[in-house]
Structure 1
Amino acid sequence: VGVEVDVPENFLTLVAERHSKPTSSLEASSSNPEWEENLKDLPVTRAIYYDDAYQTSFQAKIVAKVGENAVVLDQTCFYPEGGGQPADHGELRFADKKLKVTDVQKFGNTVVHFLDQPIDQEIELVEGEIDWQRRVNLMRHHTGTHALIGAARRVLGEHVWQAGAQKEVESSRLDITHYREISSKERERIERLANQVILRDLPVQVAWMAREKAEAKYGYRLYQGGAVPGSKIRVVRIQGWDAEACGGTHCKRTGELGVFKIEKVSKLQDGVERIIFSAGEPALKRLNQQSEALAKASELLKTTPDKLPESIKAIVAERDSLEKEIGKVHAKAMETHVKQLEKKAISLGTVRLVLAKTAKRRGIDAVEVANRLKESDPNMIVVIFEVSERVQVVAAAGDEAVKAGVNAGQIVSEASKVLGGGGAGRLYFAGISNAGQA
């Protein structure tokens, strides 16, 4: 139609981001000009978390105190939020005091540690310790993301591309491009492949490489997580499985993940599928919860977990059979109720009137009763007051009754003046509900 549409190369990534919530209230602060200005002259923070992702404690010198409760250290084990991985938590110790590290952000080459309270101005040296359980969960989930994207590509096809990712402590997500919803069989195959990678205990290698050399060796799949600035890029490679430019912390071998569990697969957008997964202890926790639920269900049904599907199938069949029988009972009750009301019809000249006050009963619908009576006799006029906590009024008139001047809508309108509530309808049928207290 002559309209040019500029679609950015990272369109699907942007779609995934719009369906995700920021993980930190300070997420936008890394681009705060005031912070950048305050930190521009500070030395580069040595990233111990890159030197050794397994080191949990360290000593450091305070380079600067910024804001009300933040400090910059000359070196740190605390990983700053980035690349879809949340920041490390932990504590800083000095003298006999401990302060909690609640967030860590990186501004340029400077790492800022946010504390739960201000630190004394005279303090110059601190000991830091990260929350190892949080770190190792995030490492496993970050490594698991690489295992998962490799498995998804092998099951679904080479067109699969990472559209977004977010690592969390208890579970993580990976958004991938795919032209249809992932089936249950595909999900099972992907999970099985990821666990096979864990069982093979493949080495996870991390290396800084010249951009041109890395691209020549691994291709543009390096940039699954988005474009990476700089002439040198940090490449994380699961040997023979996946290679990406990545800035997170990772396990040394895939075997450290222990176990991998896909928890949920859903359609995020046309062409984008979201996979929620867990690895390590969180995955074991999910499996244990499922096992306990199966055991409880088996106990309630007096069967064993392996025979649970058969027991449930039998219960569902029995339920369906009972629902059919109940349906027949309701149908019979309806037929009997209609006949009883029809016998009570009063002749008023050329028309017959059924005026009834009934309690609300399961399987007896006042609207259907009125319609059946109207259809049974063109001269029939029906007015039903159905009483429960509120009052429902239903009026209906057959064709001949309408020709004789009966207006169902007008009947309901007059009733609503007395009972309250709102009424609506036509010549042949009308009703009001919630009409005053019963």
Structure 2
Amino acid sequence: MHILLKNVKIIAPSSPFHGQRKDISIHNGIIQQVADNLEDDRATVISGDNLHVSAGWMDIFAHFCDPGQEHKEDLNSGVKAAATGGFTTVMIMPNTQPALHTKPQIEYVLSKTRHAAVTVLPIGAATKNLEGTGLAEMYEMQQTGAVAFSDGLKPVQSPGLLLKALQYVKAFNGTLIQLPDDQSISSHGLMHEGIYSTRLGMPGKPALAEELIVQRDLELARYADSHIHFTGISTRKSVEMIANAKADGVKVTCSVTPYHLSLTDSQLVNYDTNLKVNPPLRDADDVKALQDAVLHGTIDCIATHHLPQDWDAKQVEFEYARNGMIGLESCFGVLRQYLPDVPLDHLITMLTDKPRTIFGQPLPAIQKSAVANLTVFEPETEWEFTAAHIASRSKNSAYIGSKLKGKVYATVNGPVFHINN
């Protein structure tokens, strides 16, 4: 297949073409030329006002529900959702049925997505069957293709077991991912503990449940001299502790979701179950702290926490609704809409170079003879996000009907080309 990107502004700080407008010619997944005024009669031409191109975007924490819950999402629909959102690489959680906790489960994911529009990288379970009682065969999974290790939506609660896991992955420079949540404190909470939980009469999840795990795991990572990544951080104190630990030389990185950067607990007044997430939406002060941490670089990258739920899981009383929100298709538009002070170059680096550096993935190059791994987008268009923009099997998004900014036009991942309608 021949593809010609016309007059696109290249956003790639490591590229000699950074900030320049060029044409990019791609033949069968390989960049042939980056130059001015290229022509190709055989090519599919992508052109438009103010188009930009960057290395393909990477998400580090999404749930594709396959195997076991394919009615919510499967690997094929998850790939479509990711490509629609501009992602060419996605790391997927191990919270499937059965869990991604052995070599055959990792092989299943890799074999089903080998020729997909999106490179799917499985996160192997840290403990056997996500039960938190004994370590999974992490080395065997790593050799098969697991890119990191985590119990995903069921964070490791035992400090002793987490320490063993940190020591184990150190042997092959692996990374453990923790979603910080002390479940002995937060198990009955439905939303952030604060003024609005009191007003709405709902049991709250205190920020302490997150912050205790962050503090504990930072000390464990310091002791083991091993790398830990916190995803879904949501409070000011979590940001401060991570910033201090980085300054002290602890091997820690962190990511934040688009919804924790844009929504607050005050928006739960209508009991919208699409806003029921874990960690919960926090107050305005926490959101401001997260936005500042993105701007100043304390937060390393973005994680969508794409978590599909079927209609029955959300169309119930708030108490019984399942946690989670889809986020791949709306990610870029939310970030551009709610982070107006963050320079575009910085935001793109958080979607491209930073996650790949953290998890040891090669950085795509925008140059002649390189394999094309690209996202084409327009950063300024304002538009309304609707259910028609969702490629996921599930529609549990709180952004439906919202004004977003910045649209994705296409992705190129080697020989596979995806264009949005």
Q: TM-score range by the shorter chain?
A: under 0.3
Q: Could you tell me the TM-score, scaled by structure 2's length?
A: 0.21
**Greater fraction of residues in helix:** 1
**Greater fraction of residues in strand:** 1
Structure of greater Rg: 1
Q: Could you tell me the TM-score, scaled by structure 1's length?
A: 0.21
The answer to which structure, 1 or 2, has the higher relative contact order (CA under 8 A, 6+ apart) is: 2
